[in-house]
């Protein structure tokens, strides 16, 4: 299980970086637009590398892949939106905890996966780690809004469904399920953008998909996870902000595609229960980047959670 642990933890860190960039991009562009750009970038990348990996283009691979894309599109829209609201250091781990529960139960009870004692211990340590990473005690901590919490939970449920569905295609399908997944996500998000654009056209009071987010970067300021209400209501209107938002979304799409490839190969080498919990470690990358770039506070208990995450990876490797 050493290779599975390495792939799972590596993919989780890459997911964390992708989600961090997606959250920053959603401060400059609407989250649904960020999702479309990231999905298109990932689709192009998968099509370019597909000849290197091969894979059977069967109805099962395409069908399961497309269904995972439906879950993925919903998950990413909700995730980037909640990360843009912030604080990332709380909402990201909350999403991770929820996303690990459904695949864990499905793998153990429905698919009948058999794990060793060390693996079960690793699962327990990993779940505790994710909870501790998301626990922020003390004063001076920005509390998430109800809307952000609801979006985070919804994103977690959708991610869990994505993991379960992506585990279904046959192993000879290569990255074909990921191509179908990205294509389905892009199609759904593009349709949503078109609908929102029409609604905005018919109802001038409704913000369209190309309107600037109202929870973004304060005008004339720098990116921050903590803005006051007065600043948060001022739209970002500079061309530089739009350009940087698009660039962030493109890089986010590349990282997310790579992380999905790690996830798919990890599922084929290991168990769904293990990979779901390892993947849920992605907040480690997100909160570390949030601490460095946005200067969000990381409490001592969160550092304990990060240490336990490494310990869990070690237990899986020894199992």
Of the chain, the percentage scoring pLDDT greater than 90 comes to: 26
Please check whether residue 214 is in contact with residue 235, taking contact to mean a CB–CB distance below 8 angstroms: yes
Model pLDDT, residue 205: 67
Model pLDDT, residue 146: 86
Q: Which residues neighbour 41 within 8 Å (Cβ) at sequence distance 6 or greater? A: 249, 250, 252, 253, 254, 257
Q: Which carries the bigger pLDDT value, residue 214 or residue 152?
A: 152
Query: Which two structure tokens, joined as six digits, stand for 14?
Result: 């890459």
19 vs 225: CA distance, rounded Å: 14
Mean of pLDDT over the chain? 81
**What is the pTM (predicted TM-score) of this model?**
0.79
| Range ranked top by mean pLDDT from 167-171, 238-242, 273-277 | 167-171
24 vs 152: CA distance, rounded Å: 16
What torsion do the CA atoms of 192, 195, 200, 203 make, to the nearest 10 degrees?
-140
Q: What interhelical angle do 300-318 and 2-25 show, nearest 10?
A: 140
pLDDT at 302 over 70: yes
Model pLDDT, residue 305: 83
Q: Which carries the bigger pLDDT value, residue 231 or residue 25?
A: 25
């Amino acid at each position: 299980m050493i290779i599975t642990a390495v792939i799972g933890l590596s993919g989780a860190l890459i997911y964390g970086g992708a989600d961090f960039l997606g959250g920053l991009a959603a401060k400059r562009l609407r989250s649904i637009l960020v999702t479309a750009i990231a999905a298109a970038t990932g689709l192009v990348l998968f099509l370019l590398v597909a000849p290197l990996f091969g894979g059977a283009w069967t109805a099962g691979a395409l069908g399961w892949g497309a269904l995972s894309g439906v879950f993925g599109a919903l998950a990413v829209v909700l995730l980037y939106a909640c990360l843009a609201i912030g604080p990332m250091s709380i909402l990201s781990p909350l999403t991770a905890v929820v996303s690990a529960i459904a695949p864990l139960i499905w793998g153990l009870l429905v698919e009948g996966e058999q794990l060793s004692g060390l693996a079960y211990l690793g699962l327990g340590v990993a779940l505790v780690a994710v909870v501790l990473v998301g626990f922020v005690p003390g004063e001076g901590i920005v509390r998430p809004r109800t809307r952000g919490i609801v979006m985070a939970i919804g994103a977690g449920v959708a991610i869990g469904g994505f993991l379960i569905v992506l585990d279904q295609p046959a192993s000879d399908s290569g990255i074909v399920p990921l191509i179908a997944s990205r294509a389905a996500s892009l199609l759904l998000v593009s349709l949503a953008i078109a609908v929102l654009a029409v609604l905005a056209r018919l109802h001038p009071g409704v913000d369209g998909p190309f309107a600037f987010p109202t929870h973004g970067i304060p005008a004339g300021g720098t990116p921050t996870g903590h803005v006051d209400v007065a600043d948060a209501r001022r739209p970002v209107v500079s061309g530089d902000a739009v350009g940087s938002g698009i660039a962030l979304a493109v890089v986010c799409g590349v990282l997310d595609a790579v992380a999905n490839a790690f996830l798919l190969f990890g599922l084929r080498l290991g168990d769904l229960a293990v990979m779901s919990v390892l993947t849920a470690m992605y907040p480690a990358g997100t909160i570390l980047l949030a601490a460095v770039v946005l200067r969000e506070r990381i409490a001592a208990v969160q550092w304990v959670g990060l240490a336990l995450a490494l310990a869990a990876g070690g237990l899986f490797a020894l199992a």
